[in-house]
A and B are shown apart, each in its own frame.
Chain A
Amino acid sequence: MDKRRGPIMVPRESPHYHRMRYYSAIRKGLKHMSQSTTYLDVPTHVIDDNAFIIFQTGREDPHDRKHSSLSTIFSIWNTMVGSGLFTIPWAFSNSGIVLGLIISFITFAISYYTCSIYVRLARNDSDFADTMYKYFGKKGWVVTMIFSILLMFSVIVIYYELMSQALFPVIAALIEWGGASEVSLDMGLDLSRFSLFYTCIALTLILYPVVSKRDISMFIRLNSFGIIFVCFILIYILAYGFYSLSNTTFEISNEESDLEGTTRNISLFRNKFNNLAGMMTLGYYIHNVCISIVKENKHPENNTRDVFIGYFLVFLSYSLVGSLGYLGFSGYTFKANIRETENLLYMFSATDMLAFVIRIICFCQMFSVYPMLFCVIRNQFGTIFYQGRELSNDIYLAFNATLLIVATIIGATFPKVGSILGYVGGFIGLGLIYIIPISLFLKRYKLQIEDPNLVEALDNNTVRSVKRKNPEFSPKLVIEESSTSSPGKQDIVNQTSDMTLQESLLQNGSYKTYKKSFLKFYLLCVIHAFIVLIGIIILALQFLSFEEW
């Protein structure tokens, strides 16, 4: 018999309890008189849901996995690279090309490293927050969920800004072609004439019914076209880069370019690299999504390799777009200073045909993704505040409306996408990319030294938590008997040991190797502290700026 399941008991206070007992007494009595007893049998729709076993999606059969390595790599690349490409050349212009490449590389390396921690440690968990719950309990789960929901909210705001800033020139162009005078593309808050503000209002009115639609299958299908859009954008930016290389003379200098002349200055190192650092942190973030992508991999042993290749491709993309984009859009054909325009597309007038088309493409790409962002943030909200129950209709609509209104306000009053990306990347990146995975890694490492059985059980999800008699202590973790490799071994492990550590070590191995492992652990702590330090510096930089060196 499966020892893990006990009988489902109706609580005594519930009126069901006595009713069911009474009915079963009637049934028993009838049996006694040898009469039919199929009536008064409890029908399934009356039974408590807890009596049914729920299929756990985190424990799928590995043979169900479908995707090849190539598909996995492609998904990883597609998820990270998007319309944000338009802000990278601006960031590179502020940091200088060489410094930009260096920063890009550093953030790539660190992000990949922490992402691989996620992939290795999460195993069959469906969500990273569950892994955190396993190792850090409720607090870990809460912190992860808060960061995730903040991140999703920031992405919603950023996408909103990008959409409104793509839509604004498109409408302006249509107005101009309709015969009106030229509409200024100034992004300041101006209520007197058609401006970004009115675009935002229009956009919100369009978006509200779209994101409130419950059936998102249409958008999922649309989203698969998104990759074509992204390719267009990439080609466009790179092409411009090559074009400018051919017709402009570039000089290496940190001075502002003389916009009237034909030569342009290109910096290699500048001191305003804070934006790039923050932006890159966010640019390499797919940590929580990565788990679901990688789960479908046909050969899970290749997971870390595939993630690496995916990340590397993204690094290449960002580097190319950054450097060539910077070169391209500093070309002498432009009269605007790239250092000031955070969104590349604003280098063009509203009526430029090519830009017009590209703007529409950008808008479509983001529009197809937008409802799904809302879907994710609603799920997160539901999981945190409503224990995963479905949101009632009122809350559902109110939630969507609130998010859109906040996004509109920010989009209209602070349309600086690059800066927002920097701040968000710095702060949330610090949490989700630096601190959380590293603390998870270190905790597991330490636990591996102290209690390898527990770690193995946690990996395989064969632990349960058992409430202690004294409610002040955190729940005990109990490894289920079927999972321990040595039969008959009673492995009840506490997070705060009853047995001293020395005693348990004497059972498991020598004290010397234990000490050596611990030394290694401390060393790892120090190394990883450096990584976290980098994260903190990046965050700090968003708010400071150095003087010119």
Chain B
Amino acid sequence: MATQDSEKVQKVLLMGRAGSGKTSMRSIIFANYLARDTYRFTFTVDINRSRVRFLGNLVLSLWDCGGQGLFMEQYFQSQKDQIFKNVEVLIYVFEVVSKEPDKDLEYYKNCLAALEDLSQGAKIFCMIHKMDLIADSMRDKVFEQKQQEIIDVSKDFDVTCFRTSIWDETLYKAWSDIVNILLPNVQDLKSSLKDFCDANSADDVVLFEKYTFLVIANHDNIGHKDDHRFEKISNIIKQFKLSCIKTNFQFESMTFKNSYFTAFVEEFTSSTYIMVISSDPDVETEAISFNIKASRDYFENLVTDSLGSS
């Protein structure tokens, strides 16, 4: 049964050494309570709790590399097939202030070797994490240095590096960039969103990824000065989601009305949420709601297409 699972499911691996910040990263991006890394003593028991969905039918699982004692290493080796088959994306987290940078690269190389055998087409993203611990003036230099080291080790693989920290906007940006890379037909989405926006005489339409509220595409008719607005909205909604979880309810949609504007945040396709903002008082808000429901199928196909071709 385990082998069947690993054949069907498309995976995103979030890997790195223990303490590199993967867990906090995952909690923050996915609004999901997970304080400890998962130790898979029995594969099936942990399946539902530990896996998070990403971009529709991708499943993200988190793995520690190296350390943790002999038991963990052996298990990792023996379960290599399970872990590294059907991998779409590898997100590897390096801790920039690591005490054993050579060992870090070694474990990274091992992961790449496994991928080479089992999932050749995988996309690799490297996060150089905890950048806030480096002084401002040194950050560019340190990042370029580490990036070069990683690229040297990665041989034929196409690797994209990001510098991140959970204490500023870089984390959100990096993950948003990853989403954009994984959806190469973003332009089609954007133009469809534009049509949708014009049809509704709306000010702003944003397509968010369902589980992370990372921005997939957006269109706005008024210029915006605040570059951080997507992260702010994402944080607000995720915080609300967490309060919903406490009450055992799931967040489904939100309608926000005041004298300046009306905002809809609704489940859209199977992997997206849509946010529509309208400030024109002449537009009937019910009409917008109706339009959202009506366009679901169209966008469902569009999004699946773009995912499928990646």
Contacts and interface: CB of A to CB of B under 8 A. Distances in A.
Asked if A and B are interacting partners, one says yes
A39 interface: yes
A221 interface: no
Q: DSSP majority for the A interface?
A: helix
Nearest to A19: B235
Contacts of B238: 22
A33 B239 contact: no
A37 B35 CA distance: 8
A225 interface: no
B236 to A, nearest CB: 6
B132 A43 contact: yes
A26 B33 contact: yes
Contacts of B239: 18, 21-22, 25
Interface in B149-175: 166-169
Contacts of B133: 45
Contact of A18 (B27, B166, B168, B232): B232
A516 interface: no
Contacts of B27: 26, 40
Contacts of A409: none
Q: How large is the interface on B (under 10, 10 to 19, 20 to 34, 35 or more residues)?
A: 20 to 34
Contact of A39 (B23, B31, B132, B232): B23
A13 B231 CA distance: 12
Interface residues of A, number: 22
A46 B245 CA distance: 29
A30 B28 contact: no
A18 B132 CA distance: 18
Contacts of A30: 33, 35
Interface in A1-50: 13, 15, 18-19, 21-23, 25-26, 29-30, 32-33, 35-37, 39-40, 42-43, 45-46
B242 interface: yes
Given A15-B228, A39-B23, A21 B246 contact: no
A53 to B, nearest CB: 22
B174 to A, nearest CB: 15
Interface string B10-38: 00000000000001100110010101100
B243 interface: yes
A21 B226 CA distance: 19
B33 A29 contact: yes
Contact of A29 (B232, B236, B245): B245
B242 A29 contact: yes
Which among A29, A35, A37, A40 has the greatest number of chain B C-beta atoms within 10 A?
A29
Interface string B277-300: 000000000000000000000000
Which among B23, B27, B168, B226 has the greatest number of chain A C-beta atoms within 10 A?
B27
Interface in B115-165: 132-133
A25 B27 CA distance: 11
A39 B35 contact: yes
B235 A22 contact: yes
A376 to B, nearest CB: 28
A276 to B, nearest CB: 54
B16 to A, nearest CB: 15
Contacts of B24: 39-40
A15 B169 contact: yes
A85 to B, nearest CB: 48
Contact of B242 (A25, A42, A45): A25
Given A25-B239, A33-B33, A19 B246 contact: no
Contacts of B242: 25-26, 29
A46 B170 CA distance: 14
A372 to B, nearest CB: 28
Contacts of A23: 28, 166
Interface in A415-442: none
Nearest to A40: B24
Interface in B222-255: 226, 228, 231-232, 235-236, 238-239, 242-243, 245-246
Which among A18, A21, A39 has the greatest number of chain B C-beta atoms within 10 A?
A18
Interface string B172-214: 0000000000000000000000000000000000000000000
Interface string B244-282: 011000000000000000000000000000000000000
B132 A45 contact: yes
Contact of A19 (B33, B226, B231): B231
Nearest to B236: A18
A37 B24 CA distance: 11
B33 A22 contact: no
Given A15-B228, A39-B24, A45-B132, 8 more contacts: A15-B231, A15-B232, A19-B167, A22-B28, A22-B238, A29-B245, A35-B35, A39-B35
Which 5 residue pairs across A and B have the least CB separation, nearest first? A15-B228, A35-B35, A22-B235, A18-B235, A25-B239
29 contacts: A15-B228, A15-B232, A18-B232, A18-B235, A18-B236, A19-B167, A19-B235, A21-B239, A22-B235, A22-B239, A23-B28, A23-B166, A26-B27, A26-B31, A26-B242, A29-B33, A29-B242, A33-B35, A36-B35, A37-B35, A39-B23, A39-B35, A40-B24, A40-B27, A40-B28, A40-B166, A43-B132, A45-B133, A46-B132
